[in-house]
Amino acid sequence: MNRVLGNAGVPAGAVSGLSAAIAAERERWVLWLPVAFGLGIAAYFSLPAEPAPWLVGIFLAALAASFLLRHRPWGPALIGLAALAGGFSLAQLRTIAVEAPVLERRIGPVTVTGTVETASLDRRGSRRVTLSRARISGLPAERSPRRIRVGIRSAGAELQPGRILSVRAILQPPLAPVIPGGFDFARRAWYRQLGAVGFAVSRPTISPARDPPGPRARIDLLRQRIVQRIAHALPGEEGAIAAALTAGKRGAIPEPVLVAMRDAGLAHLLAISGLHFSLVAALLFGGLRTTLAAFPFVALRYPIKKWAAAGALAGALVYLLISGASIPTQRAFIMLSVVLLAVMLDRAAISMRLVAVAAAAVLLIAPESLLGASFQMSFAAVVALVAFYEAVSGRFAGWRADAGVARRIALYALGVGMTTLIAGLATGPYAIYHFNRFAVFGIVANVLAVPITGLWIMPCAIVAFLLMPLGLEALALQPMGWGIAAVVAVAKTVSSWPSSVLLVPAMPTAFLALATCGGLWLCLWHGRLRMLGLIPILAAVLVGARERPPDILTGLDPGAVAVRLEDGLAIAPGTRRFTREYWLRSAGLAEPARWPEGRAALTSALACDGIGCFLRRGPNSVAIAFDRAALLEDCRKATLLIASVRVVRRRCPEPGTLIDLRQRRREGALAIWLEPDGPRILSARRIRGERPWVAQYWRKRQTRRP
């Protein structure tokens, strides 16, 4: 075999050397099991159609074969195959388990009645209410979505979890991607059993709860009261951020503050994540251990370290419930629980194996979280940091030995800086892929803001929680506000620096896949073998650099069209605000180019009048018709016609490619590249496939039922 490989251009020595290096790291093989498990989940979600249920049997067969042949030379490969098949099967079973009706089309106004499950305030002053056990007038109960989210502009404190709400609303299925390959809200809504979204067109009627509120409603009611207490003691943007850090309610944070935090690379401080859970647990662990150590009788006879870990775990559980127990906070709690349990069992508190266990646990509970930016970024940061400190822990320990106060302060600053740098590099590809931006000076902002958060803000938050039963929370919230003001000042200062944010156009999935493979290879192996991970990372850079953005975008609404010009992306005035902002972000732009108004000059790249536009690029002549009156002329001279109305083909036979309103509704958002041999079109439906979270899939399923 080596001879064959050598003849094919691969040196036989390199193959044998690579095999020997991998064999020498046998103790690290187990770290790749969660990776194989995740690959199986990714394979399931990448399919164009829902797989047959009997494929679960493949997992059972692979599991049995791996167990029976685990001692054979190929046993590890079979175990990896079983993990991959297990991830695929679990994702499929999870999709079946959460199945709930999805609204087939836009309807309304209709009367919606349901139990208030959650109610949150957004930055526009509206309340986003999630209703459970909902009923829609005129729709059979078996076809009513299990959960519905409605935006309501009225109603205030009386809108509490557990109460019955009735309102007239316009509803539609969860939003499909506004660009092919973009964020699929409908897929996320499927796993939350959210089958319809909409907005109210009347004042709601609120009635007392028919049944006693359940645990979830009680917790959300407690969160609302905490937010009210914080707002009373600490008004303004400081109070809004304090509510986000304690109760997970971010709707009241002003938009300029959010933009500044995001552009400075500090947005992670506003979303309760692993950092916040780690700070809470560390403060509780240190405080409890110090308190117990003050009593020699207890400290000398009992394992106070384990007691402190148990107390920190209990405090983290309370924090999880108060913060809303969202998927990201659940993941952070699971990771923290693994670490604290390791302390209680006298194991290493932080190791790559524990990170692998935490990743496997999260994917077992919610396999769909693999696709989320939160999962990807948090585990990328943790894996990179553990790998880095595994390599340099000995050197840091030597520097800390016999260090004075000045050196310890310097080492702490160095640790924060290195942690920020490593985490920023690890999460950079995911920030670019999901958010199309990279905070250039994030390391500077984090070096200044993270110590304030860890040493001042979060301790004050814990003290505020302890003082709330006594009504004295203002004593801790006021100092907490000083720390929050300092962090906001850092964010505004850093974000105001020139070129503080690097805007990047949308990257292909291959970019993220290559960067992930390279990063995992670089972090999970030891020795020189890990350096091979740089190859896929460099390939990811090349793939991203070669990606060419589309020339034309069409959205879900009839008038939503964008054309790429020399000076940027011009977006038609009829495009919704959300679609406009998403398109600009995916193009890596802050502002759109001017859309021509009136009849443009003949030499203009995009000539428009009141009813349509015409674009000529190479051999392609593109007509964009917003009105039926433009069809007569456009049908004669365009090779590609994009119409916001329905077009009868026999009356418009000339265009080689016709995209009318009927096709746009069927295919969803479109991305069009004008190639020398004609337009190349990619639709959102082609990427999404026929999956349960796609409205067309559910509509076809309903029509097949008797």
Of the candidates 289, 313, 284, which has an alpha carbon nearest to the alpha carbon of residue 299?
289
Going by the DSSP 8-state scheme, the letter that residue 590 receives in this structure is S
163-212 pLDDT, tens per residue? Answer: 888 999 999 999 889 999 889 999 999 999 998 999 999 888 888 776 66
What is each CA distance from 670 to 195, 476, 591, in whole angstroms? 24, 52, 21
Could you identify the residue written with the tokens 């990179």?
Answer: 384
What is the distance between the alpha carbons of residues 298 and 639, in angstroms, rounded to a whole number? 85
The number of helices, as runs of H, and strands, as runs of E, in the chain is: 26, 18
What is the distance between the alpha carbons of residues 255 and 241, in angstroms, rounded to a whole number? 12
Q: What type of residue is 647?
A: V
Residue-level pLDDT at 5: 42
Q: What is the mean pLDDT of the chain?
A: 83
Determine contact, residues 223/249, Cβ cutoff 8 Å. Answer: yes
Residue-level pLDDT at 377: 87
317-353 pLDDT, tens per residue? Answer: 888 888 877 766 777 788 788 888 888 887 766 778 8
pLDDT (average), residues 646-653: 68
Plot region of 248 (φ>0 → left; ψ -120 to 50 → alpha; else → beta): left
Q: Which alpha helices (H) appear in 25-98, and where do they start and end?
A: 33-45, 56-68, 75-97
Residue-level pLDDT at 598: 57
Determine contact, residues 132/147, Cβ cutoff 8 Å. Answer: yes
Between 70 and 554, the higher pLDDT residue: 554
pLDDT exceeding 90 applies to what percent of the chain?
22
Residue-level pLDDT at 227: 86
Predicted model pTM? 0.85
Residue-level pLDDT at 6: 46
pLDDT (average), residues 53-58: 70
5-26 pLDDT, tens per residue? Answer: 444 445 655 666 666 777 777 7
Question: Please, which pLDDT band fits residue 602 given cuts at 50, 70 and 90?
Answer: very low
- Other CB atoms within 10 Å distance of the CB of residue 705: 7
Assigned token pair, 92: 């499929």
Distance of CA 677 to the CA centre of its chain: 37
- Other CB atoms within 10 Å distance of the CB of residue 347: 13
pLDDT (average), residues 442-465: 87
Query: For domain 107-213, which architecture applies?
Result: Beta Barrel (2.40)
Residue-level pLDDT at 567: 82
Of the candidates 237, 329, 235, 328, which has an alpha carbon nearest to the alpha carbon of residue 280?
329
Helix (H) / strand (E) containing 181:
none
Residue-level pLDDT at 605: 76
Helix (H) / strand (E) containing 434:
helix 405-435
Give Cβ neighbours of residue 404 (< 8 Å, ≥ 6 apart). none
Compute the C-alpha angle 490/494/497, nearest 5°: 150
461-508 pLDDT, tens per residue? Answer: 989 988 988 888 899 999 999 999 999 999 999 999 988 888 889 899
Question: Please, which pLDDT band fits residue 77 given cuts at 50, 70 and 90?
Answer: confident
Between 559 and 350, the higher pLDDT residue: 559
- Other CB atoms within 10 Å distance of the CB of residue 608: 21
What is the distance between the alpha carbons of residues 445 and 417, in angstroms, rounded to a whole number? 10
- 124-134 burial, b if ≥16 CB within 10 A, otherwise e? eebbbbbbbeb
Measured in degrees and rounded to the nearest 5, phi and psi for residue 171 equal -120, 155
pLDDT (average), residues 106-114: 89
Could you identify the residue written with the tokens 């609120």?
Answer: 206
Instruction: Kindly tell me if the per-residue pLDDT of 4 is higher than 60.
Output: no
pLDDT exceeding 70 applies to what percent of the chain?
86
Question: Please, which pLDDT band fits residue 697 given cuts at 50, 70 and 90?
Answer: low
Of the candidates 188, 174, 171, which has an alpha carbon nearest to the alpha carbon of residue 137?
171
Residue-level pLDDT at 111: 92
Residue-level pLDDT at 601: 43
Instruction: Kindly tell me if the per-residue pLDDT of 703 is higher than 70.
Output: no
Residue-level pLDDT at 40: 92
Assigned token pair, 505: 């156009």
Residue-level pLDDT at 620: 85
Residue 215, preceding bond cis, omega within 30 degrees?
A: no
What is the distance between the alpha carbons of residues 563 and 568, in angstroms, rounded to a whole number? 9
Maximum Cα–Cα distance across the chain: 95
Q: Which of 75-84, 280-289, 694-703 has the highest mean pLDDT?
A: 280-289
Instruction: Kindly tell me if the per-residue pLDDT of 539 is higher than 90.
Output: yes
What is each CA distance from 388 to 111, 384, 385, 396, 416, in whole angstroms? 57, 6, 5, 11, 13
Question: Please, which pLDDT band fits residue 611 given cuts at 50, 70 and 90?
Answer: confident
Measured in degrees and rounded to the nearest 5, phi and psi for residue 647 equal -125, 130
pLDDT (average), residues 52-71: 67
Residue-level pLDDT at 3: 43
Instruction: Kindly tell me if the per-residue pLDDT of 514 is higher than 50.
Output: yes
213-228 pLDDT, tens per residue? Answer: 667 777 877 888 888 8
Helix (H) / strand (E) containing 401:
none
What is the distance between the alpha carbons of residues 701 and 514, in angstroms, rounded to a whole number? 37
Instruction: Kindly tell me if the per-residue pLDDT of 451 is higher than 80.
Output: yes
Residue-level pLDDT at 85: 85
